[in-house]
Amino acid sequence: MITKIAFILVPLAWMFIAFKMSAARTRRQLRKNSTKLSDPKLLQLNGQLARAAGITNVSVMVHDVDAINGLATPEGDIYLTRGLLDCHRRQELSAEEVCSVTAHELGHVALGHAKKRLATLAIQNAIRSVFGVALGRLVPIPGGRFAIGWLADLLVRLLVAGFSRADELQADKYATALMIKSGLGTEPQKNLLRKLEELSGRPATGVAWLISHPSISKRIEAIELNEHHWKLEGK
């Protein structure tokens, strides 16, 4: 009985500790390598988003990395990468398209995804460990520990990827409503998605259900359905 209780409690304790450590480490890294957004046009558009969302302001920082991305912290701060801002400076992305990234990240904050993402990153190893032990006991797999570890990792990736794709579609839906309410419309949001693969140089390949984001076409289709829904409600 004690062994069974320990089997449950030890991974839970590790998940809690890992969550706290991951949160503190992420905060330090982001703050160390980021500066405040200073682009006047983007600040103006962010003000429109803030008013549409009913908040005082949108705190946006620029994370000094080459990747083209955006992210939100559990504390509610939005980070846009230098790579994304460089695309704007080269006129590859309009200010409105960049602003749609901010709207998307605001969706993650409002819907609680930022906290869930951080927790998910922290608990993956613990879940993987539990799966590995359970599989080792229940299913004798030829190949020993390597095969069990590989299968446990696959199960975790399937689980996490499914949650992540759902979060992305929900954040897109929030962003669509916010972009419409702020007067920016959904075209910047859809145009950004169309440009992402070309700009990042990493076309979406691989097994679809293991990809953390839905396909570009599926995201645009969902945005258009949401747009139609909001317009009908506004009549």
Name the residue range of residue 205's domain.
2-234
Provide φ and ψ at 103, rounded to 5°.
-60, -40
The bridge status of strand 60-63 relative to strand 78-81 is parallel
Q: Which SS3 state, helix, strand or coil, does residue 127 take?
A: helix
Are 45 and 96 within 8 A, CB to CB?
yes
Q: Which residues contact 120 (CB under 8 A, 6 or more apart)?
A: 160, 163, 164
pLDDT at 29: 74
Q: Give whole-number Cα distances, 164 to 127, 131, 158, 175, 209, in Å.
A: 16, 20, 10, 16, 10
Q: Give whole-number Cα distances, 34 to 26, 63, 80, 142, in Å.
A: 12, 4, 9, 48
Torsion of CA 3, 9, 15, 17, to 10 degrees: -110
How confident is the chain (235 residues) per 10-residue block, as mean pLDDT? 53 56 66 90 96 91 92 86 95 97 94 71 58 55 54 58 78 94 95 86 49 80 87 61
pLDDT at 209: 41
| Number of separate domains in the chain | 1
